[in-house]
Amino acid sequence: MYKKYSKKAEASPTSSTSSSRAQEAKDEKETTEIAADNVEKSSDSRKTSLASQQYSIGPKDLMISYSHADKEMMHRLKTGLEENGITVWVDTIGLKAGVDFLSKIGQAIIDAKLFISLVSAKTVESKYCKDELALAYVSNKAIFPVGLQTPDELFPLMDTGMKLQLVRFDWTLILDSNSFDEQFPKLLQKLKKQLAEINGEITAEKEKKSKDDSSEKAVPDASKTLQKRNSRKNLYTRSMSREKTGIDLTKSDTSAPKVPSHEEDFWEANFLGLTEVEWKKFEDAYTKTYSKEIAMLYSGEFQEWLKGIIQRELDAVEDHIVTYEKYTDFCTINGKVETFWSRVMDQAVESYTIREVFDMDSSVRVEAIENLGKFDSPQVVEALKDLLSDQDNNVRAVAAISLAKTGPKSPHIVKCLMKCLNDKDRLVRESGCIALGHMKVEKAVNKLVQLWRNDYISSVRDAAAVALELIGGEEANKAMHITKVLAEEIRLLTQDD
């Protein structure tokens, strides 16, 4: 019988990742660590129990992600922050393989208000530090890169994802112990300002919710849907607005290698007077205009992937036509028109980071899926819907399961998940079945019955049966009853022969 998807089942793809993380922590001593205040050092035999105790203390103001090679600087930074009233998650006793540290790290990032990435050559090499940065971005944390080497030294070592995630933040550079005393007060000021703003937002949101709960007039569903759609473009913008020190590469002397600025409107420069243009011409103009930026930030494989993302966002996949109206809509955020390149950067970091966090090999994927409701991020939901059309079968399957945990079953989400039932990959079909069953989508009953009766893969048939049981209701029960009766009659006739 098909096993229902559970938290344990969802975590299974990461089991090998957990062991590899443990091995990396043992051999290379590179891990991001989480701990509570004033935990005393103890013998190895007590470390696991101490670690378990420290995790029960609850959310902190700030999470530090770092390579174990930079432990000395981490300790100095942690001490300084705590002495100034900022609570910090960071493990100071060393996690062993017996501790579920992947889960604890992911949860700490999601629960924290601020996120510091201690960026060094070792950090750049660590898959887990990169996963943690991606999760912080997706869960909408205010991100503060603290460079232990200059960005000019570090950016050539970074992969595309890390470049995109850090490229427009204002870095604090602590290049040696002597510069700590000069730079720490500046960092502390930024952190406290950000905490005050976030706490103010939380208070305002609670007051608003209290008023909404006491009001007899409910907000129409259509308004909620419109609000979610309008916020689609704001994943990067919102993150940057929280990190008030975030600045553009074109204006930064301390952030990262400079990228040329393009103040002139891309459409006017290339297609002045036209209301639409063929995608091929648009693609050629894009490649020519931004050749330096593309070469600096994106690998060859990623360049082609990004073109596909842009084509999709400009709604030019089917007819291969880019209209000026769609172009303008793409460049407009909250009524403000941004440059085309700026919007390409926004879209790239959003799409890449979402994909990285929810990838089957991600060390924080399970925590991301389990905490989708905490992200309060409709744009994450939109990005997950985009992943349903990803070329990677595993990514599509994970996206389907993730969408089932996002809450409201909007017609558009249901439509996207229904397409999964026709996917060529059996795991995607299974995930689509379970997602629709979890959301109790009654309109999926007929299609699920077809899969249950006719799919040539037994696990897909089992998944469809589980989904029908989850949905329940007269229609599903009737369809299942008829099919079971027919199957039993066929079995009896076969026995009689």
Domain final position from 198, 222, 243: 198
pLDDT tens by residue, the chain, 497 residues: 333 333 333 333 333 444 444 444 444 444 434 333 333 333 343 444 444 444 445 689 999 999 989 999 999 999 999 999 999 998 665 544 334 555 677 788 888 999 999 999 999 998 888 888 888 887 778 899 999 999 889 988 988 778 878 877 889 999 988 899 999 999 999 999 999 988 887 677 666 666 665 554 443 343 333 233 333 344 444 344 333 333 333 333 444 444 444 557 899 999 999 999 999 999 999 999 988 888 777 666 778 888 888 998 898 988 999 999 999 999 998 788 888 988 888 888 877 777 777 666 666 666 666 665 555 456 677 777 877 887 788 878 888 888 887 655 788 889 889 999 999 999 999 999 999 998 999 889 989 988 988 899 999 988 998 899 888 887 777 777 766 766 666 666 677 55
Percentage helix, strand, coil, to 5, in the chain?
A: 65, 5, 30
| Angle subtended by helix axes 234-242 and 378-387, to nearest 10 | 140
Report the half-sphere exposure of 337 (CA within 13 A, side-chain side).
10
Whole-angstrom distance, CA of residue 111 vs CA of residue 135: 11
Q: Which tens digit of pLDDT belongs to each residue from 14-42?
A: 334 444 444 444 444 444 343 333 333 33
409: helix, coil or strand? Answer: coil
CATH number at residue 35: 3.40.50.10140
How is residue 465 written in tokens? 């049966």
CATH number at residue 472: 1.25.10.10
Whole-angstrom distance, CA of residue 235 vs CA of residue 413: 19
The answer to the question of residue 378 being in a domain is no
For residue 94, what is the DSSP state? -
Amino acid at 260: P
Greatest Cα-to-Cα distance within the chain, rounded to the nearest angstrom: 90
The answer to the question of residue 109 being in a domain is yes
92, 112, 219 from 129: Cα distances, Å: 17, 16, 41
Domain that holds residue 424: 404-496
Domain final position from 169, 198, 227: 198
How many distinct structural domains can be found in the chain? 2
Whole-angstrom distance, CA of residue 152 vs CA of residue 302: 22
Q: Which tens digit of pLDDT belongs to each residue from 392-445?
A: 888 788 888 888 876 557 888 898 899 999 999 999 999 999 999 989 998 899
Domain final position from 152, 171, 198: 198
The answer to the question of residue 318 being in a domain is no
The answer to the question of residue 439 being in a domain is yes
The answer to the question of residue 84 being in a domain is yes
- Listed in sequence order, the DSSP H helices in 67-149 are 71-83, 101-111, 121-125, 127-138
The answer to the question of residue 13 being in a domain is yes
Report the half-sphere exposure of 45 (CA within 13 A, side-chain side).
0
The answer to the question of residue 413 being in a domain is yes
Please enumerate in sequence order all residues whose Cβ is within 8 A of that of 94, keeping only pairs 6 or more positions apart, or say none. 33, 47
The answer to the question of residue 280 being in a domain is no
Does the model's pTM come out above 0.85? no
Tell me the residue ranges of DSSP E strands in 315-388: 321-323, 332-333, 336-337
Residue with the two structure tokens 């950000």: 194
